[in-house]
A and B are shown apart, each in its own frame.
Chain A
Amino acid sequence: MSVLAVEGLTKSFGGFTAVDDVSLMVEQGEMRGLIGANGAGKSTLLHLIYGRITADRGSIRFADVNVTRLPVTGRARLGMGLVFQVTSVFDGLTVEENLLLGALPKEPGRSDPVDRSEVGRVLEVVELSGARHRHAGNLSHGEKQWLEIGMVLLSRPTLLLLDEPTSGMTHAESRRTAELLHQLRAEKATAAVIVVEHNIEFIRLVSDRVTVMHRGRVLADGTIDEVQDDQTVQASYLGRLH
């Protein structure tokens, strides 16, 4: 069963077509990698899916709902969660308050109790229990990125979108992030994950399938081995990395 179905999505900025007739299906339980050179349209596609920018053409179905014209708040409430490339945690709030902002009900007027033990568990998963009452602004870059993942996870997303999560991380932090994503999948904390990345090693560690984008279009789609063996992909993208 597909969590996300993107069909014929197109977005232009002035005369430049950043995303050109892209179709994509993400299945339940899948971790999808999205790779491509700078300007290939990966991040634009991610932000179209999340609704930060509106598509010129095409459709996006999420959890069996057509969300193409739905604003970001609506998509978030339906179960999408986005983690930015540049960490966007709340620096002046404590780590625990950041997580509570993820956990609280988003609809106005709802006052359901928050499961504090779950907040505590997420703190342990992202290895920030010791920093519970520290301001998020005092965390390292990697810790902030994990905190943001934790914050988004507490909103119980069906689809987790990660925009270059290892950007600026050390090698050890990147490996820890990959472990964290596998742990989330094992625990069914989210139904599906899409990761935009330049770090091929990271993509190999976390992705079931990989979509390669080039000049706004989908160049190839398959397992990491299949796309790495693809002659077109080697010529247009992977060749440049070696």
Chain B
Amino acid sequence: MPSIGEQTPGGRFRRQPGVSGGGSLRYAEFVLLAALVAVPALSRDAFFVDRIGRFLLLAVFALSVDLIWGYGAMFTFGQAAFFGGAGYVAGMLTTREEWILPVPLGVALVAAVAGSALLALAISYFTFSGRGALRGVEFAVVTLAVAVALERLANAGGSITGGQNGILITSRLGPFHRGHSFYLLAAAVVVVTYLGLKRYLRSRPGLVFRGIGQNEERVELLGYDVPRNKRWTFVLSGAIAGLAGALFYVHEGIVSPAAVGVGSSTLVLLWVVLGGRGTLIGPVVGAVALPFLTARLSGTLLDTWLVVVGVILVVVILVIPAGIFGFLAREKTP
């Protein structure tokens, strides 16, 4: 019988497989990710490739939601605050002409990501700390309130936010602003984010965060500092959404109040649900496939495309609540 009371020198903590689900997905997800980012680049249609590049940035936005909701069970209605908020910061810093403004785009992008991270830190300070720490629906309501408040603020911001018209962003992403080069930039961001999150989720704090998503009280009873872990993962999620948002809206050339609102925050949830939360690859596919499908259908089914998209979503949610890749990654009971 083995003994467990004695200490022996052993190997270091090694990274664990299975963050993205069962073995069947372990390699398939990389093949799929590679295909998703490589195949469109072969097209000569610059407009098409540019559009897929936009969807890839939306996929990064979806990954930021999947991190906290899919793995940490922190349901949020306000993730667009970081995504759209970064667009506003980038827009304001590059277009206003006062004080030290405008600043170079690189500085504005860094400031936009930092701004989103700071906003996430501020929200987490009030929601995760102390005896009144919020979970579940309470947390979702707070994020909803943040989204509503920011949308109103953007609307009422006058010359600072551009009011209802938003801000026209005239800066360009240098040689990466359009077509294939923009696509390559977006593909690089999604791949780096994807692999970075995979690595994080297999790390020690990532394992603790996944434990929190499964059973927060058990993690606390084991002695871990749950609020601290949630706070920094939420900040990471905000920064990722901020990076995606800043690039997305600079590429769009305009950011308006809807960018920070509940509508945008809800849309990203649909992509995550469709693809399968807690799988990483699922939200990436959902964020590319659903907007792609929407764009295609809106061109052919002028009046009924929304109904068709709605029916697809309802069927997926009813038949496979775990989403497409959540279903594929499930572990079969022996």
Contact = CB atoms under 8 A, between A and B. Distances in A.
B2 A124 contact: yes
A187 B18 contact: no
B223 A90 contact: no
Interface in A194-209: none
A131 B311 CA distance: 40
- Chain A interface size, as a band, is 35 or more
B333 to A, nearest CB: 5
Contact of A189 (B4, B220, B331, B333): B4
A104 B6 contact: no
B13 A100 contact: yes
Interface in A126-156: 133-135, 138, 151-153, 155
Given A73-B223, A135-B331, A153-B4, A104 B10 contact: no
A96 B218 CA distance: 16
Interface string B1-19: 1111111111111101110
A15 interface: no
B204 interface: yes
Interface in B179-230: 204, 207-208, 210-211, 213-215, 217-226, 228
Contacts of A100: 13, 16, 207
Interface of B: 1-14, 16-18, 204, 207-208, 210-211, 213-215, 217-226, 228, 278, 331, 333-334
A-B pairs, top 7 by smallest CB distance, nearest first, are A76-B223, A187-B5, A106-B223, A115-B10, A117-B10, A90-B214, A121-B2
Interface of A: 50, 52, 72-73, 76-77, 82, 88-94, 96-97, 100-102, 104, 106, 108, 111, 113-118, 120-122, 124-125, 133-135, 138, 151-153, 155, 183-184, 187-189
12 contacts: A72-B220, A92-B278, A93-B207, A100-B13, A101-B207, A104-B208, A106-B222, A106-B225, A113-B13, A125-B1, A153-B4, A184-B5
